[in-house]
Amino acid sequence: MKIVPIVEGHGDVEAVPVLLRRWCSAEGSAAEIARPHRLARGKLAQEAEVRRRMQLIAKETVPGDAVLAIFDADEDCPATLAPLVLSWMQSERPDRSSGVVMATAEFEAWFVASAHCLVARGKLLAGTQPHAQPESVRDAKGWLTSRMRSRYSETVDQPSFAALFDFDEARACSSFRKLERELRRLLGGSVPE
């Protein structure tokens, strides 16, 4: 089975496959993770753009493959926007399994939750503690920058952090737990909970 991610940012294009391959490997799944399709955040909330992207992805997949959109909630409510985007994806290509995960409020909240691990790996300054409520941080990139020796760069740091952060720590984020549920569902329950 192939999973094709749809992502919003340039850093996500490199980071999301790293994350998904790590997760699948840890869970014993041999799913193939394709290179993501990038769709700007504003276009991810437009029905015509999502439908067009699903048609493009259908050309590189077969029935039974999956499409997983992962993007930041920012100020939007995931409980409202995610089901809407999912309905567009499913109605456009019902022959492809689809899922949507909106990171609350940013993908980087998962790194904020995993601060202990990132300190141990030399990515964050010694003494950095995870935020008590990582998904409440409204500028997770700024939070990370203030705890690094240099400014956080999505294209440089996001893929390396995705390769290192601790999944157990990231489970403090409900959106990361949602990612795991969606992956299990897309993989057809072949991965134990």
pLDDT digits (tens, 9 = 90+) for 34-54: 999 999 999 999 999 999 999
CA-to-CA distance for 162 and 16, rounded, in angstroms?
7
Q: What is the mean pLDDT of the chain?
A: 95
pLDDT at site 54? 98
pLDDT digits (tens, 9 = 90+) for 14-39: 999 999 999 999 999 999 999 999 99
Check whether 191 has a pLDDT greater than 90. Answer: no
Check whether 190 has a pLDDT greater than 70. Answer: no
Q: Give the predicted TM-score (pTM) of the model.
A: 0.95
Domains and their CATH numbers in the chain? 2-105+173-186 (3.40.50), 109-167 (no CATH)
pLDDT at site 189? 57
Q: Give the CA angle between residues 178, 179, 182 to the nearest 5°.
A: 85
Q: Give the CA angle between residues 97, 74, 51 to the nearest 5°.
A: 35
Check whether 192 has a pLDDT greater than 70. Answer: no
**Binning pLDDT at 50, 70 and 90, where does residue 152 land?**
very high
Q: Count Cβ neighbours within 10 Å for each residue of 78-89 and write b for 16 or more, e otherwise.
A: beebbeebbebb
Return the percentage of the chain with pLDDT > 90, whole number. Answer: 96
Check whether 193 has a pLDDT greater than 90. Answer: no
pLDDT at site 31? 97
